[in-house]
């Protein structure tokens, strides 16, 4: 299997963890990502240490507390593929958060370096900016959970629903150079879910010089590391594809560069 793919554990850990990506395990600097699958009534408590954290309730309902605040009974979708925006909770560094699952729940723990500049807060569904991006077979639904317009130190978090037979993260784009205003350097993880679950997504990760050039078959529940390069995604006919993106880098802005060979696809026709 490709070193860029992280498969979930067959059995959750005692804390519900099924996916764990750290900067050390990924071989990079900024992004951490974890998935917790909690059973009804199960609780977990964690310190954030030097990281800021965004807890995304992918499915199920929970009580969440952090930094002296609490939010009870949050969560609205029982399945990711209900396609409605999730509840999330932002927690700054040097704090502790606690989660109590009120139903079986799947929760993403997105992390990156924190600098204590922001307060813990609930990100309710009506605060999530929803957009349809692309057209035709490039059309997909985007939920901007923690975009750069909202306060955080490092994290950028977004989820995308790509319909059966469509392409996403397309035209191929990259963000691996600290060269603003043209391009920002952002590490990125993709967490995939597929409906029906026996399906798969296809993702290519490649650089201009092809030093990195991999075409990945990604199954339900797997994650992909994007340390650099272009990274388009395809949803095969018959299967809808969801992914949660976590990005972070030295500057908190998303400025991407399209592959020049394919940029014509979105250029105005003359």
CATH of the domain at 11: 2.60.120.10
Taking only the tens place, the pLDDT of each residue in 163-197 is: 999 999 999 999 999 999 999 999 999 999 999 99
Q: How many domains, in total, are found in the chain?
A: 1
Taking only the tens place, the pLDDT of each residue in 21-58 is: 999 999 999 999 999 999 999 999 999 999 999 999 99
Enclosing domain of residue 33: 5-266
Residues 166, 233: Cα–Cα separation, whole Å: 9
Q: List, in sequence order, every residue forming a beta bridge with 45; answer none if it has no partner.
A: 98
As a whole number of Å, the end-to-end CA separation of the chain is 44
Residue that is written with structure tokens 């925006």 in the block: 85
Q: Whole-prediction pTM value?
A: 0.96
Residues 242 and 80: beta-carbon distance below 8 Å: yes
The pLDDT value recorded for residue 53 is: 98
Taking only the tens place, the pLDDT of each residue in 89-121 is: 999 999 999 999 999 999 999 999 999 889 999
Confidence of residue 224 (pLDDT cuts 50, 70, 90): very high
Residue 160 has pLDDT above 60, yes or no: yes
Percent of the chain with pLDDT over 70: 99
Taking only the tens place, the pLDDT of each residue in 76-95 is: 999 999 999 999 999 999 99
Residues 162, 90: Cα–Cα separation, whole Å: 26
**Strands 69-74, 62-66: parallel, antiparallel or unpaired by DSSP?**
antiparallel
Residues 26, 111: Cα–Cα separation, whole Å: 13
Spatial strand order in the sheet of 43-47 = 43-47, 96-101, 62-66, 69-74
Residues 38 and 99: beta-carbon distance below 8 Å: yes
**Please, which residues have CB within 8 angstroms of residue 41's CB and are 6 or more apart in sequence?**
100, 101
Residue 270 has pLDDT above 60, yes or no: no
Q: List, in sequence order, every residue forming a beta bridge with 156; answer none if it has no partner.
A: 247
Write the DSSP assignment of 19-44 as a string of letters. EEE-HHHHTSSS-EEEEEEEPTT-EE
CA atoms within 13 A on the CB side of 123: 25
């Amino acid at each position: 299997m490709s070193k860029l793919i992280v498969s979930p554990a067959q059995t959750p850990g005692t804390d519900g963890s099924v996916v764990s990506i750290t900067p050390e395990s990924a071989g990079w600097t900024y992004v951490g990502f974890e998935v917790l699958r909690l059973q009804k009534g199960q609780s977990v408590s964690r310190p954030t240490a030097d990281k800021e954290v965004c807890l995304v309730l992918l499915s199920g309902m929970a009580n969440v507390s952090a930094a002296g605040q609490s939010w009870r009974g949050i969560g609205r979708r029982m399945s990711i593929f209900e396609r409605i925006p999730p509840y999330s909770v932002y927690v700054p560094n040097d704090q502790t958060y606690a989660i109590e699952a009120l139903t079986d729940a799947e929760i993403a723990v997105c992390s990156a370096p924190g600098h204590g500049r922001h307060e813990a807060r609930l990100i309710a569904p009506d605060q999530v900016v929803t957009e349809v991006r692309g057209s035709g077979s490039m059309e997909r639904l985007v939920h901007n959970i923690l975009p750069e317009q909202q306060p955080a130190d490092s994290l950028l978090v977004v989820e995308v629903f790509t319909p059966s037979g469509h392409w996403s993260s397309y035209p191929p784009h990259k963000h691996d150079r600290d060269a603003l205003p043209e391009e920002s350097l952002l590490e990125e993880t993709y967490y995939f879910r597929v409906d029906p679950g026996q399906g798969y997504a296809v993702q290519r990760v490649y650089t201009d010089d092809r030093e990195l050039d991999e075409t990945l078959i990604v199954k339900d529940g797997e994650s992909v590391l994007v340390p650099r390069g272009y990274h388009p995604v395809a949803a095969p006919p018959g299967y809808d594809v969801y992914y949660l993106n976590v990005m972070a880098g030295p500057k908190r802005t998303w400025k991407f560069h399209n592959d020049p060979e394919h940029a014509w696809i979105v250029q105005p026709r003359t």
